[in-house]
Amino acid sequence: MNEFNASRSSMTRRAFLGTTAAAAAAMTVGQKAAFGAEEIKFWDMVWGTGASYTAAAKELVGSYQPSGDNLGVRYQSIPWANWYQTFTSAAASRTTPAVSSGAAFLPFYFIEQGVIAPADDVVAGFDKSGTNDFLPGVLDAMKTDKGYAAMPWSMDLRVIWVRKSLLEKAGVEAPTDWQSFIKVGEALKKIDVVGLGLAGGSTTTDGQHTVSALMINNGGGLFATDGTLDCVTDRNIETLDFLNELVRKGIIDPYAASYTSDNVTRDWLSGRVGMGFGQTGLDKNFPTDQQSDLTVISPIKSTRGDMGTVYYINPLMMFKTTASQPSSEAFLTWYLDNMKVFWEKGVAIDVPVRKSIADLPNLKQNANLQKSIAEWQPVGKTIGAQAPRPFGALNAVDGGGAGAAFIQQIIEGKTASKQILETLQAALEKVVK
């Protein structure tokens, strides 16, 4: 869910949760197959740099020329507003598209519900053609006992960004661990700069990303290694204690509990935020003359000496409601083979998951992206940590309301860490069966 472009109210996968799903604007592109046959639908979320990404995606799909009896494609842009309800309602009414991008755990939920067409034949096609250059572990992360739930196309990896000029003004170096993060935050507070920028309002999951990253940073998470819900652990309590200290010392803005993505975006752009978690392309959402002031730092160590962060693998899934499964597979394969233009044009801000794209010259020259791939991706885990693999119930955790209340309690700083986690556990038990 990218986060910091005032023109689009935050660029994350879920940054538009505060608007209505009815805002989706259908854009018909592409060519119909011969003899006026019907088209298949492609739903695409608003990724990357927002409007410019959508325009590039529309143009790319518009260039698709189906071969043989395969059908053409109709492109429809879908906002992140109420994404959970949009997809679950479509599945219930059997009005899902043929192919769609979407939130990280949707395909795992849908394959369990029997509405997803597994992507095994698409994977086999890449293997047969010798073009399977997906980065290690990425395809495996899509595999379930029912087959590949989806094809990966990018990774939303959360890293810590700092504004170099603000740290210099405060007279401090970038933090290397939790204790130095507090010291840097205190120094920034003295110059009226927020030390950990985040948005905790109910219309965004920005704050949830940050807290998930810090839990994993401390070797914790919401689940045990056997996949059972396990929020109330010593490591998670330590993480919330750390956040509570940031709140008490004014390093986290007290107004962040009600912040929208717009609010935190404006604070980043105005120079009021000095540090915070963001996507690997956060700097691309700033004016060109400010981009060099932003830099990705190395992963910081928790009090226990652990490192880690959260990531989401962005999927492309196929639904059984397609008018033609061969057409869905042909388009999905073509789309994966041609989407490098998103990174060439600079409209994609997530990490590419294919080596042929990661090796593009402009990405090789991107020091922040290369640091993210080399140092942050190896220590990343999903919000299902410490469970061994993703599962369908994570869709409700990712899109449900329990997370927003959890973040707001943390920022308000009035409740003990263990009690906050107990409340979260009780809320999640209602949706995680």
Rounded to an integer, the average pLDDT of 363-386 is 93
User: Residue written as tokens 């369908």?
Assistant: 392
- pLDDT for 44 equals 98
Specify the pTM.
0.84
User: Residue written as tokens 């906050």?
Assistant: 420
- pLDDT for 278 equals 93
Pairing of strands 40-45, 73-78: parallel
- The answer on pLDDT for 23 being more than 60 is no
User: Residue written as tokens 């392309």?
Assistant: 281
For residue 125, which amino acid is it? G
Question: What domains are there in the chain, each with its CATH number?
Answer: 38-156+313-364 (3.40.190.10), 157-312+377-431 (3.40.190.10)
Question: From residue 378, how far is each of 136, 374, 381 by CA, in Å?
Answer: 11, 7, 9
| 86-88-94 Cα angle (round to 5) | 100
Per cent of the chain over pLDDT 90 is 76
User: What are the contacts of 57-62 at 24+ separation with CB within 8 A?
Assistant: 57/342, 58/27, 58/29, 59/29, 60/335, 60/338, 60/339, 60/341, 60/342, 61/29, 61/30, 61/335, 62/29, 62/30
- The answer on pLDDT for 3 being more than 50 is no
* pLDDT digit string, tens, across residues 117-129: 999 999 999 999 9
Instruction: Please state, in angstroms and rounded to a whole number, the distance separating the CA atoms of residues 257 and 254.
Output: 7
What's the mean pLDDT when you consider all of the chain?
Answer: 89
For residue 412, what are its two tokens? 């308000």
* pLDDT digit string, tens, across residues 42-66: 999 999 888 999 999 999 999 999 9
Q: What is the CA 218 to chain-centroid distance, rounded?
A: 20
* pLDDT digit string, tens, across residues 245-304: 999 999 999 999 999 888 998 999 999 999 999 999 888 878 989 999 999 999 999 999
DSSP letter for 285, please. Answer: G
* Nearest partner of 217 among 232, 233, 235, judged by Cα: 235
